[in-house]
Chains A and B, each alone.
Chain A
């Protein structure tokens, strides 16, 4: 339960390996001592997010032990494993980023509606703004997730449950190591600061950094030829 300061009593990080997720949890425990449940390969609970029964089992366990105030959904793969074919990578990204994550999101939302309180933070991506040759497969899965999360946020208005979406651009982390650093790149620590902002914001969507909101408008409306040129850099 939240306390009178609206500080979190119990939270779960789904995707305990996520550096953004970890940095956010560090911030959340700084002023307070909520119970933190880490879910992922080396977390308190393991989770094969591509397994339907595993997702259901996890949610039962999570909510069986008390109210959950915040679920941070920070799972995701880029789908750029060089040992796999392009099609296999596409399937991986779809399974994890869309099917697994959206199902989990729906399950958590359902349980939080019973509690009549709770917040779910979904980590989306700038990549879902417009398809680019190098990451549209990944972008399409994030676009699907983002679309669902926005719909869910609207549907849940008035139930006490909130869905917040964070849309980071390029974040310098293990996940992006070795990739060319894009403009407006931020560190995981900076990204966590925007995630904190997302949690406090009345708005559903928060960009990280904030300027990306306007960059996205430019990207989305830019003539195709110009966009091709820019995205080929």
Chain B
């Protein structure tokens, strides 16, 4: 077990920093020792790679337990499944699975996400309309409880569903069994279309969901905010492609104090170039298709010292009007977002705090230094709630606690299950404190 001096830590959005102690454990016995010996009233929190954007993986005054050393991977080609440690990354699992022509059915936009983080956030990918969210392929979770006991949870247990989307507040995910899907090759056959506005984007996504395993649209929210963009559709392909250089060799954005590359002009210029780029068609390697930004390390640093936030919400089909309000508001603020992402979700999972549910999900990135952004988003949250929408908590650093019960009507059910699993509040996070989750 390694302990480090408290140092300021932030989520991927690099906005708010919090001082927590950090220990890293490389075995279950060490984790049990950490749990047994905790004497601080500020509690413990298991963390992965801090790819959550806000304060989900922060615990000021308490202890962060770094899980990345729990990285063993066991693939069972016959059962088409994998048993993996809580610290294994999606990228590592993909590499191991691809050797057996297998692949995790649900992967997020970056491969730098651990199994623990994937379950605690109940992540979704471009395949949500077909496969549902991450938990749909999880057969078993091995969880270390606050009492020090180890429990094996399956989808038949309410504790399983409290842990899925449970933001690290039910215990430490030690090991996971995941169902993998069989592939013919390591490639996705991609088709892209340029669309001039939001209406055509929505139409195309609706028409394509049936035929394509992966659907997503990149939307340009700068300039005239009409929502032009590129719709990207993909199916697992039959023709293999050569996988390029390892992602770890990619370029890295240095940290330069006081620098913020993101201005309405630079964003507009970037989005313009990107909109005009040649469209992709044909086979693309799975990792490259799934995790387009993973070649550039620390891209979050382009936002400079102020940091940024990612705002992601879901709204029912039929409520598309809300996009117009959003776009008008953002135009008013002159707030330009680097490529936004629009996707149509399929069915929800049973997890009380799971974010995805049928409807449209839109994701936008903004520098914290956009004047008026805080107030605007607060007002937009109200509008969202009045239309029955909600935001994704793993990306959040600013929603008002009072809106949560409306966004997540099963919050209290989750609280009850959680309370029974951790009556002495061992698991704590800054987000849990800010949103009065526990």
Chain A residues packing against B (C-beta within 8 Å)? 1-7, 9, 31-33, 66-67, 114-117, 159-160
Contact = CB atoms under 8 A, between A and B. Distances in A.
Nearest to B375: A31
B397 A4 contact: yes
Contact of B19 (A7, A9, A160): A160
A4 B19 contact: no
Contact of B60 (A6, A7, A33, A160): A160
A5 B374 contact: yes
A4 B309 CA distance: 8
Contacts of B237: none
A114 B13 CA distance: 25
Contacts of B20: 116
Contacts of B309: 4
Contacts of A31: 374-375
A5 B368 contact: yes
Contacts of A159: 19
B374 A117 contact: no
Nearest 4 interchain pairs by C-beta: A4-B397, A116-B61, A1-B434, A4-B15
A74 to B, nearest CB: 26
Contact of A4 (B42, B398, B400, B436): B398
A78 to B, nearest CB: 38
A117 B60 contact: yes
Interface of B: 6, 13, 15-16, 18-20, 41-42, 54-55, 60-61, 307, 309, 368, 373-375, 397-398, 400, 430, 433-434, 436
Contacts of B375: 31
28 contacts: A1-B60, A1-B430, A1-B433, A1-B434, A2-B16, A3-B434, A4-B13, A4-B16, A4-B54, A4-B398, A5-B15, A5-B368, A5-B374, A31-B375, A32-B374, A33-B400, A66-B433, A66-B436, A67-B433, A114-B41, A114-B42, A115-B42, A115-B61, A116-B6, A116-B18, A160-B18, A160-B19, A160-B61
A1 B432 CA distance: 10
A116 B40 CA distance: 12
A3 B54 CA distance: 9
Nearest to B15: A4
Contact of A117 (B15, B19, B41): B19
Given A1-B434, A5-B368, A117-B18, 19 more contacts: A1-B55, A1-B60, A4-B16, A4-B55, A4-B309, A4-B397, A5-B398, A6-B15, A32-B374, A66-B436, A114-B42, A115-B60, A115-B61, A116-B60, A116-B61, A117-B61, A159-B19, A160-B19, A160-B61
